[in-house]
Chain A
């Protein structure tokens, strides 16, 4: 398993009380104390990969335990969240390979109205979007969560996925293209429309394909 932290220069959000650790040249929050701050992100990432809340939390639990026993391999000053994400995705993909099990719910955790919230700004039909997202392959979901949702660079995402930066980039663009296809969008059509009616009209198309 690769526990190497991505060589990222992006400054992690650090708690300002890190000065308490005196004597260390690069005062940083002890990763053991910082870890709890990243559990929500780990859970969100795990749900995106497993598409199943129970499996997701099992994956997070495994990730926490692995991280805890490997903190000596964590490079202080690098981003803890990226390191934890790496452990989580490695755990997910290696257990997926081992069991050859496809993830339980083919429709995904977002099928149904789980994520349907009333949107008063009229900008989103999140439900449709997530349903399409859940139909992507795990690799495509992964790269979109890393690059799209978390704002990692292709290089950073590539480091986490143990692939070349070019691979991460082309994977992301294929993932986006596939997502548009699933949403029934032609390239260039907006999915965040200015008005509710327009959004629903655009997103409604994917529903008609069923």
Chain B
């Protein structure tokens, strides 16, 4: 047990953290490629139209 704690020193942990963040970024950035659904384009158009009437 204490052996394991000994190995959780900064370097490997920093590397692991970096790896996790890299994966998270990749997943997140992948999702950014999705096209914006029409419902949001419509919503924005409606909001803008309302704004213009004010």
**Which residues on A are within 8 Å of B, measured CB to CB?**
32, 35-36, 39-41, 43-44, 47-48, 57, 60-61, 64-65, 68, 115, 124, 126, 129-130, 133, 144-145, 147-151, 176, 179-180, 185-192
* Residue of B whose beta carbon sits closest to that of A141: B24
- Judge whether B27 and A191 touch: CB under 8 Å: no
- Judge whether B20 and A61 touch: CB under 8 Å: no
- Judge whether B25 and A148 touch: CB under 8 Å: yes
Supply 8 further A-B pairs (C-beta < 8 A) apart from A64-B40, A64-B43, A147-B21. Answer: A43-B34, A44-B31, A61-B39, A61-B40, A126-B26, A145-B24, A185-B16, A188-B16
Interface of A is mostly: helix
Return A73 CB to nearest CB of chain B, in Å. 16
A-B contact count (CB 8 A): 101
* Residue of A whose beta carbon sits closest to that of B23: A129
* Total contacting residues, chain B, CB less than 8 A: 33
